[in-house]
Structure 1
Amino acid sequence: MCGRYVIARSVDDLLFEVGAVPGAPLRGTDTSAVRENWNVAPTAEVPVVLERIAGDDDETPGAVLRELHVARWGLVPGWAKDPSIGVRAFNARSETVVDKPMFRSAVRHRRCAVPANGYYEWRKRLGPDGAPVKATKGAPAKQPYYVHPQHDGATVWFAGLYEWWQEPSGSWLLSCSILTTDAPSPEAEEPVLQELGALHDRLPIALNRSTLEDWLDPAADSKDEAVGLVERVRAEADMVAATWQLHAVGSEVGNVRNNTPDLVAPVQALF
């Protein structure tokens, strides 16, 4: 499961990397600044890239527009009575996303890519029977790790979903979720996949450049096409993850109020 991540890239860098333009709320703003968030948690505002078919109010009706928007992390479907439902929908299980009411419309019609520098995951301390143990004064129950690309400055593009929800005031809330899948086997051939398999039982699904193009395509909107896309990104998730690396980080990341580059600094793992 991905419940915390890092995004410390400027809007301009993200726009250039995927050939996008600012969405309407970002137009006319300074996109050159780096909006750093070293401890992104659910309900935070995060950048997402999506494609939509231009409407009559756009300069080129019918054209496919690739735009960067800012969304709330935690999906709020259009039928929700209250946006608080999104607090528990920051991740979407890829195994059930096509049929689950919370996500089934978005996976057909509103797919996006969520950029990150990397993400945090917590490894549980296990007892002799293989079950998680409780923390003691000298032995914490969990050790946080930072998972990220091998090359500094590289971007992870998570497979995401987005939704628009109309508030009682009439304004619109854009929200998003990140797809997850089973973690690699601890017995995988690639050492980093072994590490990821031992780290947690879930893995956020990252896109390569080819799958990113197809995942964003708004014309692929039938259920069969959605099923095919989900199967494809699931099948290729390990190939992308095999290019990552990970290291232990300090416990400070557990407090969302802590938000500095020091959070990703390597430390000696406690177990």
Structure 2
Amino acid sequence: MARAVGDLLADFDAELEHELELEKSWNVAPTDAVPIVLERLVDDGLKRQLHVARWGLVPSWAKDPSGGARLINARSETLLEKPSFRKAAVARRCAVPADGYYEWKKGEGKSKQPYYVHPDDGGGLVFAGLYEWWRDQSKGNDDPGRWLLSMSILTADTPTAQSSDSVFDELTALHDRVPLPMSTETMEAWLDPREDDAAGLVDLVRAGAHDAAAGWTLDAVGAAVGNVRNNSPELIQPVEGLF
């Protein structure tokens, strides 16, 4: 995620509630800060806002935020069955912008090849997400750090190929799951806080995943991405793949 705040505001027609800083990253790891886009009803009007959230959802009832690192993803098929996610699915849905994502393909033995999955037109991705606010009870009401905003990305089965859609054959060979992508149209419905049919919205986004991912491409990249201490544009440069 290497886009600037101003670019994200323009791309999503969003505004800021408070000033924020967003560092570019080519190797986002769980618990890192990432941008999210959400909509809120403010003074009877709908406001689309850009926020920065911690990757790894911390439910409001959690005793501490440490468990959030295990909740970086939410399976869309069982979303409403999970106490950690079901309330957020009804009332706190967000969009998660990204330039692309990494996935590892296993070869024979212990060999693995990382791939960078991204739109072939150089644009960005938008994943369906959930967000939650967690209150640190040890901090006073005047402490601005008493609230933690966190988020999780929905996942789904990799879309199946229709006719000669070769990218989906490649995605299936890479992994049987993908972060759930959204088109502009499905994002509009997903973000609207006035909609409370969470099951219907999940079905809508899942149904649109094939078209949303149709323009993706896969590039083999270097193994340096496997170390979170490495973070530079070189990580997404294509290399000759092992297999």
Q: Return the TM-score normalized by structure 2.
A: 0.94
Q: CA RMSD in A?
A: 1.4
Aligned to 1:45: 33
Runs of at least 4 residues of structure 1 off by over 3 A?
185-189
Point out where structure 2 has 5 or more consecutive residues left out of the alignment: 141-145
CA deviation profile, 1:131-176 (whole Å, cap 9, x unmatched): xx4x2xxxx2x11000001112x11111000000001214100000
- Indicate whether 1:249 and 2:218 are aligned: no
After TM superposition, give the deviation of residue 42 of structure 1 in Å. 0.6
Identity of aligned pairs, percent? 57
Aligned to 1:231: 203
In structure 2, what is the Cα distance between the partners aligned to 1:184 and 1:214?
A: 21
- Indicate whether 1:83 and 2:68 are aligned: no
- Indicate whether 1:95 and 2:77 are aligned: yes
After TM superposition, give the deviation of residue 85 of structure 1 in Å. 1.1
CA deviation profile, 1:20-40 (whole Å, cap 9, x unmatched): 0013253xx7xxxx7310000
* Count of aligned pairs between the two proteins: 237
In structure 1, what is the Cα distance between the partners aligned to 2:160 and 2:91?
A: 32
After TM superposition, give the deviation of residue 236 of structure 1 in Å. 1.1
- Indicate whether 1:217 and 2:196 are aligned: no
1:37 aligned partner, one-letter code? S
| Distance change >3 Å, CA 49–CA 187, structure 1 → 2 | closer
In structure 2, what is the Cα distance between the partners aligned to 1:246 and 1:35?
A: 25
Point out where structure 1 has 5 or more consecutive residues left out of the alignment: 1-6, 55-60, 127-132
- Counterparts of residues 1-271 of structure 1 (less than 5 Å): 7-26=1-20, 35-54=23-42, 61-126=43-108, 133=109, 135=110, 140=111, 142-152=112-122, 154-167=123-136, 168-170=138-140, 171-185=146-160, 189-221=164-196, 225-271=197-243
In structure 2, what is the Cα distance between the partners aligned to 1:125 and 1:184?
A: 22
Instruction: Give the stretch that moved more between structures: 17-26 or 163-172.
Output: 17-26
Report if aligned partners of 2:121, 2:215 keep a CA contact under 8 Å in 1: no
CA deviation profile, 1:73-111 (whole Å, cap 9, x unmatched): 000010111101110100000000112111000000000
In structure 2, what is the Cα distance between the partners aligned to 1:188 and 1:110?
A: 36
Report if aligned partners of 2:58, 2:132 keep a CA contact under 8 Å in 1: yes
In structure 2, what is the Cα distance between the partners aligned to 1:158 and 1:200?
A: 17
Q: Return the TM-score normalized by structure 1.
A: 0.84
After TM superposition, give the deviation of residue 123 of structure 1 in Å. 0.7
In structure 1, what is the Cα distance between the partners aligned to 2:161 and 2:51?
A: 37
Instruction: Give the stretch that moved more between structures: 230-239 or 181-190.
Output: 181-190
